[in-house]
Amino acid sequence: MMRQYELVERVRKYNPNVDEDLLNRAYVYAMQAHGAQKRASGDPYFSHPLEVAAILTDLKLDDATIVAAVLHDTIEDTSTTREEIDRLFGPRIGKLVEGLTKIDKLDLVSKQARQGENFRKLLLAVAEDVRVLLVKLADRLHNMRTLHFVPMEKRARIAQETLDIYAPLAARIGMQKLREELEGLAFRHLSPEAYQTIETRLHELRAKNGRNIKRIEEELTHEFSARGIEAAVTGRQKTPYSVWRKMERKSISFEQLSDIFGFRIIVGEVEDCYRALGVAHTKWPSVPGRFKDYISTPKQNDYRSIHTTVVGPGHQRVELQIRTAQMHEIARFGIAAHALYKDATGQEGRDDLAKESRAYRWLQETLELLAHGDSPEEFLEHTRLELFQDQVFCFTPKGGLIALPRGATPIDFAYAVHTKLGNSAVGAKINGRVAPVLSQLQNGDEVEIVRADDHIPPAAWEAAVATGKARAAIRRATREAVRRQYAGLGRQIVERAFARANRAYADDKLKGVLPRLARHSVDDVLAAVGRGEIYSGDVVKAVYPDFSEERKAQQRLPEPGEPGWFDIKASSNLMFKVPGAEQGGAIPIRGLRGDVPVRFAEKGGAVPGDRIVGILTPGEGITIYPIQSPSLTNYDDQPDRWLDVRWDLDEESRELFPARVVATALNEPGTLGALATLIGETGANIDNIGFTAHSPDFREMTFDLEVADLKHLSDIIARLRAHPLVSKVERVVG
């Protein structure tokens, strides 16, 4: 275990002005707080925070970050409080330590919810101080280094979480060295046989090609030196995990890999990068399609370098990475290589770091997802989508550069530009040609989005997009559209309730009683009524406290000609009135695509021409039943849920409605085909078919149909009854 003076000396090597007293006090305090606690390995628990601090000294981090690493488990695993840390070490270090404390004490049933909520808390802390993330990654790295001491049943979960979240997160903030070690350790535990096989093959290649690598290093160095370019050339080998991932992605064998070995060329200035590239391409032929300039177009994690592949000495493919020393530091240490990160604690410091670091800007943009109330599981899902590695670079019509993940679509592009553009997108042009909005984009595509201001993104887009930002925005837009539907329905219900009570309704009156209804806005109240969460009579009583109503059990539904029933003859539309309602006040029903949240009775549906009743179901809207449905008896004692509804269809409407028909027919080959053909010829659609053996000679067939109206359904039933194979046909009303 590292001793007290050793920790101080590690920091002093890169920071001569180290606060020795602060480090010593943190060392002693943490050692006493953790006391006799042990790790799974049997080592004193205090050895873990010390190793985390040691990892961070390799990144040359400031004193406060090192102290936070030493103390990072004290609040979570000991009796230490945030107040005590603030008192002894100051509020800045206290905030760092609290940001690293998990929230396992929350009463969250789902492990994924707990994981998502912990990750949400971590990123919120990172928004205040990016050093929290650096300590967390170092913490995860040491835990992965000692994962073999953890019980077997926990290893796979921790390794998978590392591969899914922490390694990509390290990559997204540019910490390539840390990312590679996390990936390698996770891969070793998740696929030990594959890891060992690839590691063995790589070892054999190193032994076989060692001299050749040295020769290429010397030849490259000589060529650059001869042209006045001072360059450090080093050979490198791909990691086992990167080899495995490439084999999986391209479905190729180990022998087919052509770029296991590569060479890194470190030069002094940016101009030297392009001079070195010219030397390499002049000396050896380049491989087409293998050139990438990440200097002029940096990656989102701030990575800058030139990549090219040439056919070098011995006719071998040689991958070259050309960069400056400063670019190399950022490629290895990412955000930690930026001098500004130490001052990114106030808003001004965070703004300065965001200007310098594209990676930090990404972190800030990811945190925008937190502002929209997504569940922990959704937040985790969105964040995983954002942790992509491979990118495509596309352009706006004005030349703006947009970086997206592989597999991104014009919809992702639109949301990357602006949420409003994504919500209003109805079409796209790629390189000047009209293309589907779900086309996959390629590097260099110019994308123009076609808009419609009143458009609502289809819910199906959520599963087709590639970025978390697009998915979250689509989900919010569709939720808001549904909420507007419920609010519209609620307004109609409330206005009719006030009319029945002979009281005047106005939004201003409702605003004055919002606290009594425990809602923040009029729309919230109306949406709650539409969802069935608030009874309309309670809204009336909130506005007019002297109002009282006697809620009676549901009366027998009236028959034609009796009081309380009448019809309106318009396009064969009928209207049914619940007793006590005012004439002409029924809620119009236009089908599943109307402006009221509607669904139809699960067993049998309802069709225009039926006399219908609406039942309000909390959270689901209105369920429409034919008046003769036996299911309505289930609601006899719930009069508050009965709604007055009517059909209101345009003559031009082509919408189909659900109905169920049961036919008893001869059990012989060809019967089903004959009946299905007959139904199809009427213009109806068969949604589902069920079979029941009636007897050896007969079979009962249940057809779930989509028809235009009652006349259409009656015609189908009549034609089925007239068929020689059919003995009986009945409509089912559930």
Q: Name the least confident of 8-22, 144-158, 338-352, 525-539.
A: 338-352
pTM: 0.55
Closest CA to 634 of 656, 617, 658: 617
Is residue 413 situated within a structural domain?
A: no
Pair of tokens at residue 265 = 């060329």
Return the residue matching tokens 């592949």. Answer: 309
* Domain end call among 543, 565, 590: 543
pLDDT higher than threshold 90 for residue 169: no
Set 20, 76, 352, 381: catalytic member: 76
pLDDT in tens, 489-515: 788 888 888 888 888 899 988 988 888
What distances in angstroms separate CA 292 from CA 48, 220, 305, one per listed residue? 41, 20, 8
Say how far apart CA 495 and CA 485 lie, in whole Å.
16
Q: Across residues 279-298, what is the average pLDDT?
A: 88
Is residue 391 situated within a structural domain?
A: no
pLDDT in tens, 456-479: 888 888 888 988 788 888 888 887
pLDDT of residue 577: 35
Is residue 461 situated within a structural domain?
A: no
User: How large a percentage of the chain has pLDDT more than 90?
Assistant: 31
Q: Across residues 141-150, what is the average pLDDT?
A: 94
H/E run at residue 688: strand 685-693
- Specify whether 485 is located in the same domain as 570: no
Closest CA to 653 of 729, 593, 609, 713: 593
Say how far apart CA 174 and CA 351 lie, in whole Å.
19
Pair of tokens at residue 269 = 């200035």
pLDDT higher than threshold 80 for residue 258: no
Residue 181 contacts residue 167 (beta carbons within 8 Å): no
Residue 141 contacts residue 180 (beta carbons within 8 Å): no
Is residue 705 situated within a structural domain?
A: yes
Model confidence at 367, pLDDT cuts 50, 70, 90, reads low
- Specify whether 175 is located in the same domain as 203: no
pLDDT in tens, 399-451: 777 878 778 999 999 998 998 999 999 999 998 899 999 899 987 788 999 99
Q: Across residues 162-168, what is the average pLDDT?
A: 84
- Specify whether 513 is located in the same domain as 555: no
* Domain end call among 131, 164, 190: 190
Closest CA to 598 of 584, 575, 615: 615
Residue 710 contacts residue 607 (beta carbons within 8 Å): yes
Say how far apart CA 388 and CA 682 lie, in whole Å.
51
Say how far apart CA 246 and CA 237 lie, in whole Å.
14
Model confidence at 712, pLDDT cuts 50, 70, 90, reads very high
- Specify whether 73 is located in the same domain as 93: yes
Most confident segment among 16-20, 202-206, 257-261, 355-359: 16-20
Which residues lie closer than 8 Å to 239 by C-beta, 6 or more apart?
180, 183, 184
Pairwise pLDDT comparison (686 vs 549), residue with the higher score? 686
Is residue 361 situated within a structural domain?
A: no
Model confidence at 6, pLDDT cuts 50, 70, 90, reads very high
pLDDT of residue 332: 84
- Specify whether 123 is located in the same domain as 65: yes
Set 20, 58, 77, 495: catalytic member: 77
- Specify whether 25 is located in the same domain as 162: yes
Pair of tokens at residue 589 = 């029903």
pLDDT higher than threshold 70 for residue 558: no
- Specify whether 205 is located in the same domain as 316: yes
pLDDT of residue 424: 92
H/E run at residue 448: strand 447-451
Closest CA to 129 of 60, 78, 64, 185: 64
Q: Residue 248 sits in a domain of what CATH number?
A: 3.30.460.10
User: How large a percentage of the chain has pLDDT more than 70?
Assistant: 81
Is residue 441 situated within a structural domain?
A: no
Is residue 490 situated within a structural domain?
A: yes
pLDDT higher than threshold 80 for residue 711: yes
- Specify whether 205 is located in the same domain as 302: yes
pLDDT in tens, 379-406: 555 555 555 445 677 888 887 778 787 7
- Specify whether 211 is located in the same domain as 104: no
- Specify whether 287 is located in the same domain as 152: no
- Specify whether 179 is located in the same domain as 197: no
* Domain end call among 289, 320, 336: 336
Pairwise pLDDT comparison (732 vs 127), residue with the higher score? 732
Say how far apart CA 102 and CA 83 lie, in whole Å.
17
pLDDT higher than threshold 90 for residue 660: yes
Closest CA to 216 of 145, 314, 141, 76: 314
pLDDT of residue 215: 84
> Which class for 337: exposed (0-12), middle (13-18), buried (19 or more C-beta within 10 A)?
buried
Is 76 in the active site? Answer: yes
Sign of CA dihedral 328, 329, 335, 339: negative
> Which class for 654: exposed (0-12), middle (13-18), buried (19 or more C-beta within 10 A)?
exposed
> Which class for 450: exposed (0-12), middle (13-18), buried (19 or more C-beta within 10 A)?
middle
For 183, the domain range is: 4-190
Model confidence at 208, pLDDT cuts 50, 70, 90, reads confident
Average pLDDT for the chain: 81
Model confidence at 579, pLDDT cuts 50, 70, 90, reads very low
- Specify whether 150 is located in the same domain as 286: no
Q: How many domains does the chain have?
A: 5
Is residue 433 situated within a structural domain?
A: no
pLDDT higher than threshold 50 for residue 722: yes
pLDDT of residue 553: 41
